[in-house]
Amino acid sequence: NDPIFGGTPEGKIFDPLGFGADEASLYRRRVVEIKHGRICMVAFLGMTVGPNELITPTHTLLSPSLDLHFDEIPGGVAALEYVPAAGWFQIISLIGIHELTIAKQDYTKVPGEVPTFLGFKPEDPAVFRNKQLKELKNGR
């Protein structure tokens, strides 16, 4: 009846489509759910801050070959067509390297526990479990 793995207060596991038939697949799905939840929370922050001009962009040169500056990029989804192909390549490469090195899930640990130098993980296991459940619920 672990809430991290789909347990409900009634003692049942909520898995209506049967994706978590065994422990390994349920663990993998939980890891992916937490990772996608983190991505969505950061994306929400970007979509909230960018279009509302809460941070003023600088006139720093973004692409010398196109004479494109940061303050010329619109906020939100409209920015997708303005970023050059080399910029997309850099973004996707950086995310891929991060996924394969720093943010790689160690399957001997609980879902979502990735090595970090920032010290986000609380020392107390009860506090960690509570924060992990909150993160899981916020990501949904």
Of 69-83, 84-98, 110-124, give the lowest mean pLDDT range: 110-124
Q: What share of the chain is helix, strand, coil (3-state, %, to 5)?
A: 50, 5, 45
pLDDT of residue 89: 94
Joined together, the tokens standing for residue 98 give: 């991060």
25-69 per-position pLDDT tens digit: 878 888 888 888 888 888 888 778 766 666 676 788 888 888 888
Q: What is the pLDDT of residue 93?
A: 96
Structure tokens at 90: 């850099």
- pLDDT above 70 coverage of the chain, percent: 80
- For the whole prediction, is pTM greater than 0.95? no
